[in-house]
A and B are shown apart, each in its own frame.
Chain A
Amino acid sequence: MKIIVCIKQVPDSAAKVVVEGGKVSWGDAPLVINPWDEYAVEAALQQKEALGGTVTAISIGGESAKEAIKHALAMGADDAILISDPALANLDTQAAAQVLAAAIRKAGGVDMAFFGRQAIDGDSGITPSQTARLLGWPALTLSAVIKVDGGNVRVERAIEEGRQIVTAKLPAVFSLVKDFGEPRYPSFMGIRKASRAEIPAWSLGDLGMVAPATVISWPEVMNPPSREVTCEVIGGGSPQEIAEKLADKILAEKIL
């Protein structure tokens, strides 16, 4: 089983993200692997343990994207590829999908392409299905359970109404939810391997493509409006008294 995991480097989820001079800034908070992609790497490693094969992490980015890649290697991915080109600076999802689809084709012989369900910076969650569309592969997004049987796969997808059970033929694109379990910590051996790893870089030329056009732009980024909320703490002599007061206040706001 040849498994590719597409990972993205994003600012730490605990970072204080603000708009400074019209641009997004996260101060000196570190860039880390997108937390959802960590779950995807974990799921990929579990599939490799069950079925045999290799796990390759790929990421679009510059030098700093190597952190995310090295984390995936330290968790146990076998190898990694960085897709790096100055023309790839500000990609929207459909441009990223074009690049990733080209990389997956170039890697060749891929059975499963894993994605985290969304990147916590853009929060779009559509790159996996867009990549699948370009490859002409089934898009098995929001997979919570994956069972491979020969060239077929059966997944349970997490939809609003519960689970949808779907079968398809491999190769396929998957986006993962959390049900596979907490991502494993890097092992010390993995850390050693990852820190020494030489990560090959592919440029657009290597992928045989020109820079894809971006159609989505962010002409304006703003801090959210500050919500002037002062909390009124309801006190009282007994829980019953407090509850009465609170219920009255809520009903007075006419939202029930």
Chain B
Amino acid sequence: MKTWVYVDHFKGQVLPASWEAIGAGKTLGTVTALVFGSGVEALAKTAFTYGADEVFLADDPALADYRSEAYASTLSSLAAEHKPDAILFPTTTRCREMAGMVAMDLKTGVMVDVTALELQGDRIVATRPIYAGKLLTKETCSASPQIATLRGRAFPKPAADTGKSGTPTKVAAKVEALTNVEGYATTEGGVSLIDAGVIVSGGRGVSNNPTLTPPGGLDEKQTEIWRAQQGFALVKDLAAVLGAAVGASRAAVDAGYVPYMHQVGQTGKVVSPDLYIACGISGAIQHLAGMRTSKMIVAINKDAEAPIFKVARYGVVGDLYQIIPALTAAFKSKLGK
């Protein structure tokens, strides 16, 4: 099978799920990686080290910012010409859009956010979660190319082999777009949730420390948020020691404790880390939908009946204001930090 894999990046930083997609593509047959952008030749070279047999590079100043129409048209015209059997993308905000548009251009379909792939003859059978992960379906696409977006961390990342190299094939970019990018506003930095191997998350319980005395002049809601910020500071400390990303439940985001970009759940980010530490999170179904495929879940909650304990491998029923700092200290010494 001839599989194309789109390498998603932002300002030259590749989203690691793209490399995982190359690994997945290699299990199906040969892989041609696609790198679009401006000044991204280095990314094209890196694609070879992750196993791409061939790389198409569309390097054009007009592609400096991702714009869906230009990127989709570039890909569609290439695909119409070369007719790959399959096109794989990592599931990201850009790639959902691009894959959807390319599918319209090529009159085919997209299997979105796939967690497993198998080949039956020349058909890909893609397993993906539906109904917020309550069910799984095995989807097929009857048209060609068969397009899929792959969930981050659902497929193993191939080891980079610096011995592998090659020359990218330069291809023409389609540059017409219907939008202008004016700029970007970054929110807090830190490890990206989708790629994180370890996530420490805080929930509504993080504000629940009545013994903390807030500074004067705060009303009730401000006091709650102040307390939550003290709690989240503890979560962030633990995350820092573990090199982890910081996540949050919807309840914490809705209450204003942390910005939305930290939200894990069906309506936030769906994550699949190796380790997920849930602090003060009850484990409502919408949150579980976002993290239940984590390899190991550890829960810290005052409420022994919290549903989160049903999916946790290890649990502590206790006050997170005491447990989290103790855990941070324990890891600090054991990891020699």
**Is there a contact between chains A and B in the complex with CB atoms less than 8 Å apart?**
yes
A18-43 contact mask (Cβ, 8 Å, vs B): 1 or 0? 11000010000000000110000000
SS class, residues of chain B in contact with chain A: mixed
Q: Are B137 and A222 in contact (CB under 8 A)?
A: yes
B279 in contact (CB, < 8 A): no
Q: Which of B65, B185, B298, B316 touches A162 (beta carbons < 8 Å)?
A: B185
B119: Cβ under 8 A from any A Cβ: no
A48 within 8 A of partner (CB)? no
Is B183 in contact with A92, judged by CB distance below 8 angstroms? no
Residues of A contacting B226 in the complex (Cβ-Cβ under 8 angstroms): none
Report how far A157 CA is from B182 CA in the complex, Å.
11
What residue in chain B is nearest A230 (Cβ atoms)? Answer: B313
B101 to A133, Cβ gap below 8 A? yes
Q: B80 interface residue, CB < 8 Å from A?
A: no
Residue A158 contacts which of B93, B181, B330 (CB distance < 8 angstroms)?
Answer: B93
Q: Which residue of B lies closest to A123 (CB)?
A: B130
A231 to B178 alpha-carbon distance, docked (Å): 52
Q: A209 at the A/B interface (Cβ < 8 Å)?
A: no
Residue of A172, A214, A229, A251 near B313 (CB, 8 A) is A229
CB-CB under 8 A for A243 and B113, given A222-B136, A256-B242: no
Name the residue of chain B whose CB is nearest to the CB of A220: B138
Would A161 and B10 count as touching, CB distance under 8 A? yes
The answer to whether A224 and B314 touch across the interface, beta carbons within 8 angstroms, is no
Q: Is B258's CB within 8 Å of the partner chain A? A: no
Inter-chain contact A161/B184, CB cutoff 8 Å:
yes
Residue B331 contacts which of A123, A136, A222, A247 (CB distance < 8 angstroms)? Answer: A247
Among the stretches A79-87, A163-171, A197-205, the one at the interface with B is: A163-171
Most buried by A among B103, B274, B329: B103
Size bin of chain B's contact surface: 35 or more
User: Taking A126-B97, A141-B97, A224-B129 as contacts, is the C-beta distance between A166 and B110 under 8 angstroms?
Assistant: no
**Stretch touching chain B among A49-57, A62-70, A185-193, A234-242:** A234-242
A229/B311 in contact, CB under 8 A: yes
Q: How far is the CA of A97 from the CA of B129 in the complex (A)?
A: 21
Tell me whether A255 and B274 are in contact (CB under 8 A). yes
Residue interface bits B253-270, CB-to-A below 8 A is 1, else 0: 000000011000011000
Is the CB–CB distance between B285 and A216 below 8 Å?
A: no
Q: Is the interface of A mostly helix, strand, loop or mixed?
A: mixed
Given the complex, which residues of B lie within 8 Å of A172, measured CB to CB? 178
* List of A residues within 8 angstroms of B327 by Cβ: 243, 246-247
- A contact residues, total (Cβ < 8 Å): 84
Which chain B positions have C-beta within 8 A of A255? 197-198, 274-275, 295-296
Tell which of B22-30, B159-167, B186-194, B205-213 binds the partner. B186-194
> In the complex the two chains form, is B100's CB within 8 Å of A250's CB?
no
Decide yes or no whether B299 CB sits under 8 A from chain A.
yes
The answer to whether residues A215 and B329 also contact, given A24-B135, A166-B180 and a CB cut-off of 8 A, is: no
Binds A, one of B36-44, B46-54, B318-326: B318-326
Contacts A17-B131, A133-B105, A159-B93 known; A165 to B137 CB distance under 8 Å?
Answer: no
CB contacts (< 8 Å) of B198 on chain A: these are 255-256
Give the distance in Å from the alpha carbon of A123 to the alpha carbon of B133 in the complex. Answer: 9
Please give, as numbers and ranges, the residues of chain A lying within 8 Å of B272 by CB-CB distance.
Answer: none
A149 at the interface (CB under 8 A from B): no
How far, in whole Å, are A148 and B195 apart by their CA atoms in the complex? 35
> In this assembly, does B221 line the interface, its C-beta being within 8 Å of a C-beta of chain A?
no
Given the complex, which residues of A lie within 8 Å of B131, measured CB to CB? 11, 17, 24, 120-121, 123
Q: CB-CB < 8 A to A239: which residues of B? A: 318-319, 322-323, 325-326
A16 to B134 alpha-carbon distance, docked (Å): 8
Q: A223 vs B137: C-alpha distance in the bound complex, in angstroms?
A: 9
Verify A227–B178 contact, CB threshold 8 A. Answer: no
Contact between B135 and A17, CB atoms less than 8 A apart = yes
Interface residues of B in 33-84 (CB under 8 A from A): 65-66, 68-69, 72
Across the interface, which residues of A come within 8 angstroms of B104, CB to CB? 94, 97, 130, 133-134
A243 touches B100 (CB 8 A): no
Q: How far is the CB of B91 from chain A (nearest CB, A)?
A: 9
**Shortest Cβ gap from A32 to chain B (Å):** 14
Complexed CA–CA distance, A127 and B335 (Å): 46
- By a CB distance below 8 angstroms, the chain B residues around A248 are 334
Is B185 a contact of A165 with CB atoms below 8 Å? yes
Given A93-B100, A124-B112: A231 touches B312 (CB 8 Å cut-off): yes
The residues of A that contact B285 with a CB separation of less than 8 Å are 13-14
A211 at the interface (CB under 8 A from B): no
Binding site for B on A (CB under 8 A): 11, 13-14, 16-19, 24, 35-36, 92-94, 97, 120-127, 129-130, 132-134, 136-142, 154, 156-169, 172, 177-179, 214-224, 227, 229, 231-234, 239-240, 242-244, 246-251, 253, 255-256
Given contacts A219-B139, A229-B311, 16 further A-B contacts (CB under 8 A): A35-B267, A94-B109, A121-B130, A129-B97, A161-B10, A163-B187, A164-B65, A165-B182, A165-B183, A215-B141, A222-B135, A224-B129, A231-B313, A242-B323, A244-B326, A256-B198
The 10 closest A-B pairs by CB, nearest first: A126-B100, A243-B326, A215-B109, A138-B178, A239-B322, A247-B330, A216-B109, A163-B185, A162-B186, A220-B138
- Residues in B lying within 8 Å of A, measured CB to CB: 10-11, 15, 65-66, 68-69, 72, 92-94, 96-97, 99-101, 103-105, 107-113, 129-143, 178-187, 192, 194, 197-198, 242, 260-261, 266-267, 274-275, 285-286, 292, 295-299, 309-319, 322-323, 325-327, 329-331, 334-335
